Amino acid sequence: MNTRTTEYVSVKTPEAIEKCLKYAGEQSPSTHADRDALQSIIDSMEVNVIFTGVKKHFADDEQERLTGTFEIVRKNQRIRFDYGFSIRATQDLTADLLRSGWVNFGGERIYADYSNSKRLLLQQAGLVKKFQDGLLYSCLTSCRSEYYCPKSFSDFCGELGYDEDSRKAEALHRACLEQSAKLEKIFTEEEINFLPR
């Protein structure tokens, strides 16, 4: 059993869609038309995930976290982006593993091994079951927050508080521009505003 598999698993279940629509409506007052627009966007895409392990995701991470890659297929385009789950979700999962080696995922008991290298070895389906209801929402909120990126490095540093002399900030800006360009292939500026925050 290994967290890394070669197949993506769909996160677009009826439960996940309903939860996403519900959370989006709770965040900001939305009209029926806004909900319909979000539903239409969700209906027009495939959203899949593959779990890639437990490791440091961000350059300044002090702790390891569960990581994965989202894949979105829409408008005859396929984009992929890495995602780092919260430290809390990772800690909860790790606590379950350390207790007995058996983890309860959606009512199903799955054996898992937490090795010395701190890599979780579990079944892909088990991870998806544990996180599935929130994955669609997590993916769409990431898309919205990563859609806009200041084009100039100076503006990027000014808006986010980075030092313009920092190579780390420069690399981050390039990565943000790449992510923004990917998202612009599958969402219009009008559509992105209907995604949850």
pLDDT at 113 over 70: no
The least confident of 52-56, 118-122, 168-172 is 118-122
Q: Give the distance between the most distant pair of CA atoms in the chain.
A: 52
Residue 115 has pLDDT above 70, yes or no: no
How much is the CA Rg of the chain, to the nearest whole Å?
Answer: 18
The answer, yes or no, to whether residue 4 has pLDDT greater than 60, is no
Q: What is the mean pLDDT of residues 28-48?
A: 87
Among the ranges given (99-108, 128-137, 168-177), the one the predictor scored with the smallest mean pLDDT? 99-108
Kindly report, residue by residue over 151-165, the tens digit of the pLDDT: 999 999 999 999 999
Which residues have C-beta within 8 Å of that of residue 161, sequence separation ≥ 6?
A: none
- Provide the residue ranges of all domains of the chain, joining segments of one domain with +: 9-145
Q: Residue 65: its pLDDT value, please?
A: 83
**Alpha-carbon distances, residue 180 vs 60, 92, 139, 145, 189 (angstroms):** 21, 31, 14, 9, 11
**pLDDT tops 50 at residue 131:** yes
pLDDT at 132 over 80: no
**Coil, helix or strand at residue 43:** helix
CA distances from 62 to 55, 68, 71, 136, 172 (A): 10, 18, 27, 27, 18
**What does the pLDDT average to over 49-53?**
80
Q: Find the helix or strand (DSSP H, E) in which 173 lies.
A: helix 167-186
The two tokens of residue 99 are 């207790």
pTM of this prediction exceeds 0.95:
no
Model confidence at 93, in pLDDT bands (50, 70, 90)? low
**C-alpha separations of 70 from 26, 35, 120, 135 in Å:** 24, 23, 19, 9
- Mean pLDDT of all residues in the chain? 79
Question: Kind of pairing, strands 102-105 and 77-84?
Answer: unpaired
Average pLDDT for 129-153: 86
How many other β-carbons are positioned within 10 Å of the β-carbon of residue 168?
Answer: 11
